[in-house]
Amino acid sequence: MPGMSEGLNRLLDAVYPPRCVVCQRVGAVVCADCLSRMHPPDAPTCAHCGATIPDTDYPAPRLCPNCSAGRNLTHLDGVRVATDYAGAARTALLALKFAGQRRVAEPLATLMVAPFECDIRSVDLVIPVPLHPSHQRERGYNQAELLARALARTEGLRVRTDILERTRATEAQTRLSREDRRRNVAGAFALTSPGAAAAVMGNRILLGDDVTTTGSTLDAAAEPLRAAGAASVWGLAFARPSRGDSDADNAS
Ligand SMILES: [Zn+2]
Ligand SMILES: [Zn+2]
């Protein structure tokens, strides 16, 4: 019951005012100042994977070398990210992911609308990238789901968590190359049931995740959706490490 927990949250906020998980200032779980310090990746970005590309004379649509070679994110229509995984964004995401600060998802999700401003309302279903059940049991929640639900609430979209499952616990991606990441997660996702396939058919799907580095996890999650006849599958992550900082795209 969202109404009840909102009321409870307001009461708790009155008694114990929240502190910003980034700067510790009293007032909001992530303050406006810290949110304003979370920046989208530098332009220009690749029209397909959303990665920053060198500012040279790329013909439009601009594609990064990996995407123009046609071997990147073959199941996805494309990927967009809200912010660089650095500074305030990184601190806030770590609080969401590892310190049980679930309410951080709401302010962070507000930043996820902008990369999709043209067409987010044409999305039929939002599906968070599922954790492996053993990882979800450990943490008690899926941070990607919290972000997806917060985003969907503000945009009036539908979220489904009963369509896609992670059938294989995958190795942490941290030290893997692009190609090894792809291999590591390939075939790690499946539809839950024949009914799930019917729900996917013909629909425009937005896959939500907290962090993506190469997009390989999002792409692997898109594979069974594409096979079931999804009209489109886009990936949207809150953050992406800039090149060289790849400590974020782990298995969970
Ligand atoms: Zn702050
Ligand atoms: Zn690209």
Task: Give tens-digit pLDDT for 237-247.
Answer: 999 998 654 44
| Global pTM value | 0.89
Distance 26 CA to ligand 1 centre (A): 8
Structure tokens given for 128: 């968070």
Position 7 scores a pLDDT of 81
pLDDT in tens, the chain (252 residues): 445 677 887 787 777 889 999 999 999 999 999 999 998 888 888 989 998 888 766 667 788 888 988 888 999 999 999 999 999 999 999 999 999 999 999 999 999 988 765 577 789 999 999 999 998 999 999 999 999 999 999 999 999 999 999 998 777 777 788 888 888 888 899 999 999 999 999 999 999 999 999 999 999 999 999 999 999 999 999 999 986 544 444 434
What is the number of the ligand closest to the CA of 24? 1
What is the number of the ligand closest to the CA of 30? 1
Position 119 scores a pLDDT of 72
Position 243 scores a pLDDT of 63
Domains of the chain: 40-240 (3.40.50)
Distance 91 CA to ligand 1 centre (A): 10
Distance 18 CA to ligand 1 centre (A): 11
Query: How many CB atoms lie under 10 A from the CB of residue 125?
Result: 20
Position 170 scores a pLDDT of 76
What is the number of the ligand closest to the CA of 178? 2
Position 180 scores a pLDDT of 84
Q: Which helix (H) or strand (E) holds 184?
A: helix 178-185
In this structure, which amino acid lies at residue 162? Answer: D
In this structure, which amino acid lies at residue 241? Answer: P
The Cα–Cα gap between 49 and 223 comes to 16
Contact assessment for residue 225 and residue 127, using Cβ atoms and an 8 Å cutoff: yes
Position 250 scores a pLDDT of 45
Query: How many CB atoms lie under 10 A from the CB of residue 230?
Result: 24
Distance 103 CA to ligand 2 centre (A): 32
Position 11 scores a pLDDT of 82
Position 33 scores a pLDDT of 97
Position 126 scores a pLDDT of 97
Position 58 scores a pLDDT of 62
The Cα–Cα gap between 96 and 118 comes to 28
